[in-house]
Structure 1
Amino acid sequence: MHRVASAGNTSNSVRPRKEKRLTYVLNDADDTKHCAGVNCLAVLKSSAADGCDYLFTGSRDGTLKRWALAEDGATCSATFESHVDWVNDAVLTGSNRLVSCSSDTTVKVWDGLSEGSCIKTLRQHSDYVTSLASAEKNSNVIASAGLGGEVFIWDLEAALAPTSKSGDATEEDCSNGVNSSGSSLPMTSIRPISSSNNISLHTQSQAYIPVAAKGHKESVYALAMNESGSLLVSGGTEKVVRVWDPRTGSKTMKLKGHTDNIRALLIDSTGRFCISGSSDSMIRLWDLGQQRCVHSYAVHMDSVWSLASTPTFSHVYSGGRDLSLYLTDLATRESVLLCTKEHPISQLALHDDGIWVATTDSSVHRWPAEVRNPQKVFQNLVLHYSWSSRNAKRWFFIDRHRRRSF
C-alpha cells in the first residue's frame, strides 16, 4: 500500500492513502432480465381498447426495463440504460414520459415508449436520489428527494425546454455528467425562488432551477403528491411527515407519531388523507385537515417498505422487510396476509385486479388482489373459515393486532 506524508505534518509521520473503489455491473447474456434487486415499479395503462399495458421496473443493476403485459405473462420490450448506480424510483407522467432517480445523484427523463431513449438528465441533488412523486392530473409537475435532505419540485415543461449555452450554464443531456471532452459538467447552483405563483425559474439564457422545499435536516426516503399537484408530503429519518405547498416550496405542517425512518407514503386524490409506512413496523393514517393521526395499524413484524392503495383509498396493500404482503381495511382495521415471499418486498404496483410485487432479488411476481372489490378477500376468508370449521382440515387465527392469516 502506498503511504504519503500528511499535509503540513512536521513530525514526518505517514498515513495510508485512501483507496478508491470501483464498482461496475456486467450485463448477463440474457439482457431481458435484471441481474440485481428490483427497487421500483410503474404501470402504464394503454389508452386504446386493444392496446398493450406496460410495466416498468428499475433495478439495483442500474437499468430500467419495459415489460409488455399479457394474460399469460410479460415480455421485456426495452431496456433503458444511462444511470451508473442503483435506480431507486420511477414514475410515469403525461405523454408517456418515464422519470427515474438514482444513487448516481441524477433524475432522468425518458421516452417511455421508445427503445430506451433518454431525453434529459436533471442534476441538482448532492447525494443519492431516493424517491419521486408525480401529479396524476398535472403531468408537468414531479418532485424528487434524497439522502442529502433536499426536496425539489420540477416543472418538466420548463426543465426540458432548450436553453442557450452561456459561460456558466450548460445544457443537460444524458451523458452522466461527462461532456465530449471528458470533463465533468458543472452543477447548477441552488437559488431562492422569489415568485409565489410559479414553480420554476427559467429564461432562455439561464439553466432551469427547480423549486427547493427546505426543511429536512436529514435523509428523505419517501414522497407522495395528490393528483392536482397542489400538495406534497415527505418523510425520512427524522421520523416526521412534512407537508408542503409544491408551488412555493413552503412547509404547511409537520406530523409526528412514528418512532423510526418513514419509508413509504401515499396521499388520496383530494389531499385530505395520507398513509405512511415506517421502519418502526407501523402503518399510520393521517387526516391532514385535522393535522393528526386518526388510526394506526400494527400489521407487520418489521420495517414497512412499500404501500399501494385501492382507488377509493378504502384499503391499503403493504409489504416490507418481514417478507409479507398484507391487505388492510382502513375502516375496520382488519388485515389479511396475501402472500409471503423469500426476500424483503421493496415495491408494489396495482394493475387491473392484480398486484405486482418487487423484492430485493431480481424477479417480479404478480398476485391476485381483487383491487376493484378488495372486500372479496375478506369474504373469501370467512368462506374458508366456514369450510374449515365443518371439515376440520383448514385453520386460521386472529392475533391481538387483528391480523388474519390463512
Structure 2
Amino acid sequence: MVAPDLPIGDRIRHYRGRRRQDAVAGLVGISPDYLSQIERGLKVPSLPVLYALAQELGVPAVALLSDRPPPDEESAESAEAAVGRALLGYGPARSTEPVTADVLRDRVETAWHTWQTSGDRFSTAATTLPELVADVEHATRAARAGSDADERRAVLRTAADLYCLLRSYLRRTGRVDLATLAADRAMRAAEDADDPLRIATAQWNLGHVLLAANQPAEAEELALRAAERVAAAPVPQEKRQAMEGALQLVAVVGAARRRRWDEARKRLLEHAVPAARAVPDGSNVGWTVFGPTNVALHALSIDMEAGETSEALHTADAIDTSPLVSLEREFTFGLEVAACHSQRRDDAAALLSLLGLEAVAPEDLARNPLARQIVLTVIRRGRAMHARQAEQLAVRMGLV
C-alpha cells in the first residue's frame, strides 16, 4: 500500500523495486532515459505507456494513479472527524452539568503543553481533544446563559485558548476549513471575555489560518492592524511586547510568502528583533513561543525560502534551539535545515537531518508535506546507499 498522495513516478519506482530500470523500459518499449524521467517526475506517461508499465509491473493501472479519497469521504471514525463533530455541537446534552472553568483551564493547559512538547502529539490529541472540545463547548453555552459573570469570563478565556490549539491541530491535519472555524470561535470567545491579550492571540491564530489558505497579503494586513491595537492595549508590558512581536512575525511570513524578501527582513529587524529583546524565550505568551530564538528561526526561514541556502545554513549554525519550549519549532528548524541541504543537492546531509527529526518527532515528519517531498527527492536522485535509506524512511513515514 502506498500513500494516496504519492506521485505517479514514485509509485512506478516503488512497484519496480529492485528490477533494473533499463530492463523494465525495454520490456515496455520505451527508452531507459524516458522511464528515468517519468520516475523523477519530469515526464508524465501517456495512457498506453501507463497501462504497459502497470502490466509489466504486475499491478492494476489504478495503482499507479493517485487514490486519495474526496474530502467528503473522510472516515467518520477519524480523529479529525471526531474533533469536527465536537466543534459543531455534538457534545453532552444541555441538561448535563458543565465542567467548571478551573477544571477546564487545567485540562486545556495540559493539552497545550503536550501539543508543544510531545513527539507523539497527534496521537495524544486524537484521544483527548474530542472530549475536551465537547466539554468546553457545553460549558461555554451554559456560561453564556448563566448569571455568574466571573465564571462566564473564565470559561470564555479557556475556550479562546482551546480554540487556538484547535486551529493549530486542524491546520496540520489538513482541515483548513475547520481551522478557520476554530480561529473564528477563538476570536468570538476572546471578545466576549473582553480580554485584550487573548483577542491579540486569536488574531495571531487567524493570521496563521490565512497563511495556510495561501492568503499571505491578507494575513500580513490583519497582523499589522492587530499589532497596532495590542501596542495600545492595557496589557502588562512583557506580554504586550510578546504579542506585538508575534504578530509582526506573521507579517514577516506574509511578506516572505509574497517573495518580498527585503521587506520581510526589514520588518524582522525593525520590529520583531527589538520586541524579542524584552521577552525571554521561555515566556511563551499566548502559546506563540515568541522570543529571541523564534525570531532567529524566522530569519533562517526567509533565507531558505529565498533560495539563499549558504546564508541560511550559516544562520542555522548560530542558532541554539535548546531555550525553545516548543518541539514543533525545533522540528521546523531541523526541517528547514534539511530543505537547505536538499536545495544544495547534498542528499546525505538532508537525509541525516530527516533521520534526526524522525527520532524526536516521527508523527510530524510523517505528516509534513515538505518532509515527504525531501524524502522523495533523495530517493529519486540520491546515491544508491542514500536512496535505500530514504526508501526505508519512506516506508516508516507511510509514503509507501
**Structure 1 length as normaliser, TM-score?**
0.25
TM-score by length of 2: 0.26
Q: Which has the higher contact order (CA 8 A, sep 6+)?
A: 2
Quick check: which one's helix share is greater?
A: 2
Structure that is richer in strand per residue? 1
